Amino acid sequence: MVAVPVPTFKLERELMAQGFTILAGVDEAGCGCWAGPVYAAAVILPLDSRIGLIRDSKRLSLEQRQRVIIDIKNKATAWAIGTATQEEVDQLNIRQAAFLAMRRAIASLSPQPQAILSDGFTIPELTMPCKRVIGGDRLVKSIAAASIIAKVERDIELERLDSLYPGYGFADHKGYGTKQHQEALKKLGACAIHRMSYKPLQPYKKAPL
């Protein structure tokens, strides 16, 4: 059985040894969804913060995410959320919209970080260095913390949107292309928060607001 890596502060310590003192981890949630905004979080974690449950958000249960996010928010030097709407996803494409959400999250941090650790991609158009880490949400503690905040906060928003657009099951599938979601689309058509640039949505006419 292959051991699952536990995120550490190893990379943060290496960058601090190079002279960086304020580092933020950044990750997104919702890129693969068919509906709703894409979310990003940026987190500055002190190296002496002891939060044992920090993992890639996908490896945690709902109860674990809801518990650990409280510790992250309480112990972080700073954390912030950035979003990009479904309209921006359709206008820009999902990758550029995710970058936009990430830049918005970073811009909302106080203090501002001196360098960024990002999961998977180098974020363009930043005023500070950005180091991409493949599998960063599994390996780097500040990125894993960002993945949890982005996931939890986006899920809360999709639960709110479920009450505005009933019948689609957004509170259950959070906008992903599940069988439940597909059946709702066949019955109701697309609604105002669907990403119409996505190929599976193109056969459906968008319902009025």
What percentage of the chain reaches a pLDDT higher than 90?
88
**Tokens in use for 64?**
């674990």
Q: 92-136: per-residue pLDDT in tens? A: 999 999 999 999 999 999 999 999 999 999 999 999 999 999 999
Domain coordinates in residue numbering, the chain: 10-157
Size of the chain, expressed as the number of residues it contains: 209
pLDDT at 208: 54
Closest CA to 199 of 187, 185, 209: 185
As a whole number of angstroms, the distance between CA 116 and CA 44 comes to 10
Q: Mean per-residue pLDDT for 53-77?
A: 92
Taking 90 as the threshold, does the pLDDT of residue 206 lie above it?
no
Report the predicted TM-score, pTM, of the whole model to 2 decimal places: 0.94
CATH number of the structural domain 10-157: 3.30.420.10
Of 20-24, 35-39, 202-206, the poorest mean pLDDT is in 202-206
3-state secondary structure of 23: strand
Of 33-37, 188-192, 204-208, the poorest mean pLDDT is in 204-208
pLDDT at 1: 46
How does DSSP classify residue 122?
Answer: P
What percentage of the chain reaches a pLDDT higher than 70?
96
Q: 162-194: per-residue pLDDT in tens? A: 999 999 999 999 999 999 999 999 999 999 999
As a whole number of angstroms, the distance between CA 139 and CA 93 comes to 28
